[in-house]
Amino acid sequence: MPVPQIRGAQAREVWRRLSAVTDPELDEPITDMGFVERLEVSRSGEVEIDFRLPTYWCSPNFAFLMADGIRKAAMTPAWVQKVRVQLQDHCFADKVNDGINGQQPFGAIFAALTEGGNLDEVRETFREKAFLRRQEAVLQGLRAMGWTAGQITTLTLAEFDALNLSGHAEAAAQKPRYREILVGDGLALLPEDWAFVTWRGDPIVAEDLQDHLMRLRALRINMEFNGAMCRGLAAARYKEVVRNGEEPELIDFILGRVPPRACGDSQSSRG
Amino acid sequence: MYKTPDGQDVFVLDCHTHFWDGSPANQRNVHGKQFIDCFYAYHTALSPKDQLWEKSKFEKYSVDDIYRDLFVDGPDDMAIIQSTYLRDFYKEGFSSIERSSQMAQINPGRFIVNGAFDPRDGEKALEYIHYMKETFDIKGVKMYTAEWNGDSKGWKLTDPSAYKCFELCEKLGIRNVHVHKGPTILPLSKDAFAVGDVDEAATDFQGLNWIIEHCGLPRLDDFCWIATQETNVYGGLAVALPFIHSRPRYFAEVISELLFWLGPDKILFGSDYAIWTPQWLVDRLWNFEIPEDIATERGVQLTDEIKRKILGLNAARLYDIDVAAKMRELAQSPVRIAAE
């Protein structure tokens, strides 16, 4: 995945902020997915960010959500005077860019395309999916450690915070991300609150844990599909822009993407 | 026909193939270029490296290519060609019923060519359904709800204009409706991949078979729920199956969900040719076993008998094909390729 050139402390600060922006379908940071193509900070504190999605056809509501998230994240540092976000090579790029950078409030542009709906509905849907996806990762870690349904469903927030999940990489990685939504959205607040609840905030009964996990599994299958597709499509699309110095592969020869220096000593085996 | 490693013959009916022209000469605008580019990205992202095509061949392959890839090098006995027009993007349509039917005539008995219509055309769509039935005797249609048409960036199976078309299909005996759920553009507030309209349409048209391509992914759970409720909803494996190469464990989870919810009689093989070719897909599916932990958790198995159903028997039932008779017929008439 490509990473833009990040120069200077200010650009690095913006980059760190951008890592909190996720692709709503994947619940993965856009900076990890390689969507951010360019990040420039001027002396006067103006930030310019270009981003590009895996295909021209990626659903525009996700593009709107990400563009909005990027703008807000980039505005956070006190020194930032202005942010300009550009979505590139997308079927709705003009509308997204007008909405995000125009004089009209972003919500108004969006509302015109939504039959009266609003961005928050979509955001809420994907917040729920992210919550459940992260929860599943932690639950699977605990199950792999041999925890019973009763132990899992009666875990408190304080006990959750004290958990050591090392050795279960995915669970350990998702633990703080799960907590962020759990506490951030008020689903658990006090140390004695249950750590694992439904999106409605209801406790999970031990006998229901298996069914609950099956539902989470279905959700993970959907999100993994998106993740695998997006990575694959992004790799196929981005390869033409960023080489990162790696060895050319067969696909590069087929597409004529081989950098001049590598042409002389390699031959395509096909095409 | 697929020959198993231990010498059994397996009937293969490939439910989702295309004979498209996405070449620059046929592209109307940048959308046409981006559409075939996106297909090509799917091809390069999920194919084994030794199966990759050059871009120019991918944009427009020949009559010989399709016969060779499906029936000579590939194991298909028969294939269903889906029509997709995308008239806003392609001058002569992306894959038209006329061009595909012409190609299919060269070796009779191999292809079933399905039609397509756009309910937003109103009365014209109804006339066109009559034309396709009378001229090509179609048995099925392909619906692409994310297709652009002027200001409209998509439609729903439950739109009143669509219902008029489905009523006519039912009347004319066009029983198989293949539905591709691409990401829908508008309204932006809705889940772009929602499959809920399948539920309603399938309930209201019990006489039609609803085949949901790529099993509604990325909304597999919603799709499974609908397909469990509705006896006339089927899942097409196109796009899901290539994961068998790049992420076999993931494919095992998907097929396990499908087997658990839909059962073995409602899953249909489709290569999505020319995005992928059937030879490696069928070979890997036949040799695939669901890892034990996943099989145990869901209580499902992918037996040889189930594989036969998925690869051909289920679709043969939907398209009224007598498999034994068909295999005898095809054995008498091997595929001829002009160039060889």
- Tens digit of each residue's pLDDT (9 = 90 or more) over A92-125: 898 889 888 875 666 676 677 766 667 787 888 8
> Count of A–B CB contacts within 8 Å?
123
Contacts of B272 in chain A (CB under 8 A): none
Q: Under an 8 A CB cutoff, do A58 and B183 touch?
A: yes
How distant is the Cα of B176 from the closest Cα of chain A, in angstroms?
26
What b/e string do you get for B19-38 counting C-beta neighbours within 10 Å, with b at 16 or more? bbbbeeebbeeebbbbbbbb
Whether B181 and B146 have beta carbons less than 8 Å apart is answered as: yes
Contacts of B52 in chain A (CB under 8 A): 250-251, 254, 270
Nearest residue, CB atoms, B187 vs list A114, A232, A235: A114
Residue in chain A lying closest to B183 (CA): A59
The single-letter code of the amino acid at B120 is R
Residues 6 or more apart whose CB falls under 8 angstroms from that of B132 comprise B97, B115, B117, B138, B141, B174
Residues of chain B by 3-state class (helix, strand, coil), percent to 5: 45, 15, 40
Nearest residue, CB atoms, B192 vs list A59, A121, A236: A59
Whether B251 and B241 have beta carbons less than 8 Å apart is answered as: yes
Looking at A115-124, A153-162, A261-270, which range is the least confident one? A261-270
Nearest residue, CB atoms, B257 vs list A62, A113, A221: A221
Q: What's the farthest any 2 CA atoms get from each other in chain B?
A: 56
Nearest residue, CB atoms, A57 vs list B183, B188, B220: B183
Burial of A135 (0-12, 13-18, 19+ CB in 10 A): buried
ipTM reported for the complex, 2 dp:
0.82
Nearest residue, CB atoms, B187 vs list A117, A222, A223: A117
User: Residue B202 is encoded by which pair of tokens?
Assistant: 């399938």
State which H helix or E strand residue B113 sits in: strand B111-113
Whether B160 and A66 have beta carbons less than 8 Å apart is answered as: no
The conformation of residue B311, written as its DSSP 8-state character, comes to I
Task: Tell me whether the omega of the peptide bond preceding residue B274 falls within 30 degrees of 0, making it cis.
Answer: yes
The single-letter code of the amino acid at B94 is F
Task: Look at residue A226 in the predicted model and tell me its pLDDT.
Answer: 84
Residue in chain A lying closest to B215 (CA): A222
Contacts of A122 in chain B (CB under 8 A): 188-189, 191
> Helix (H, G, I), strand (E, B), or coil: what is residue B263?
coil
Burial of B18 (0-12, 13-18, 19+ CB in 10 A): buried
Residue in chain A lying closest to B45 (CA): A232
State residue A52 phi and psi, 5-degree precision: -145, 140
Q: Under an 8 A CB cutoff, do A64 and B188 touch?
A: yes
Q: Which of A63, A51, A52, A47 is nearest to A14 (CA)?
A: A47
The mean per-residue pLDDT over the stretch A162-186 comes to: 96
Q: Which of B277, B326, B313 is nearest to B66 (CA)?
A: B277
Q: Under an 8 A CB cutoff, do B257 and A218 touch?
A: yes
Q: In what order do the strands lie in the sheet with A46-52?
A: A36-41, A46-52, A82-88
- Structural domains in chain A plus CATH codes: 9-117 (3.30.300.130), 121-226 (no CATH), 242-271 (no CATH)
Q: Cα A71 to chain center, whole Å?
A: 15
Burial of A83 (0-12, 13-18, 19+ CB in 10 A): buried
Contacts of A60 in chain B (CB under 8 A): 185, 188
Q: Under an 8 A CB cutoff, do A225 and B54 touch?
A: no
Determine the number of helices (DSSP H) and then strands (DSSP E) in chain B: 15, 11
Q: Give, for all 340 residues of chain B, the pLDDT tens digit.
A: 999 999 999 999 999 999 999 999 999 999 999 999 989 998 998 999 999 999 999 999 999 999 999 999 999 999 999 999 999 999 999 999 999 999 999 999 999 999 999 999 999 999 999 999 999 999 999 999 888 888 887 889 999 999 999 999 999 999 999 998 766 655 556 666 778 899 999 999 999 999 999 888 888 988 999 999 999 999 999 999 999 999 999 999 999 999 999 999 999 999 999 999 999 999 999 999 999 999 998 999 999 999 999 999 999 999 999 999 999 999 998 888 865 4
Q: How far apart are CA B138 and CA B172, in angstroms?
A: 10
State residue A261 phi and psi, 5-degree precision: -65, -25
Q: Under an 8 A CB cutoff, do B49 and A64 touch?
A: no
> Which residues of B sit within 8 Å Cβ distance of A?
31, 34-35, 37-38, 40-42, 44-46, 49, 52-55, 182-193, 217-221, 224, 240, 243, 246-247, 250, 253-254, 257
Nearest residue, CB atoms, A236 vs list B45, B53, B184: B45
Contacts of A255 in chain B (CB under 8 A): 55
Residue in chain A lying closest to B191 (CA): A122
> Helix (H, G, I), strand (E, B), or coil: what is residue B85?
coil
User: Residue A68 is encoded by which pair of tokens?
Assistant: 């909005």
What b/e string do you get for A143-162 counting C-beta neighbours within 10 Å, with b at 16 or more? beeeeebeebbebebeebee
Residues 6 or more apart whose CB falls under 8 angstroms from that of B101 comprise B113, B136
Whether B236 and B16 have beta carbons less than 8 Å apart is answered as: yes
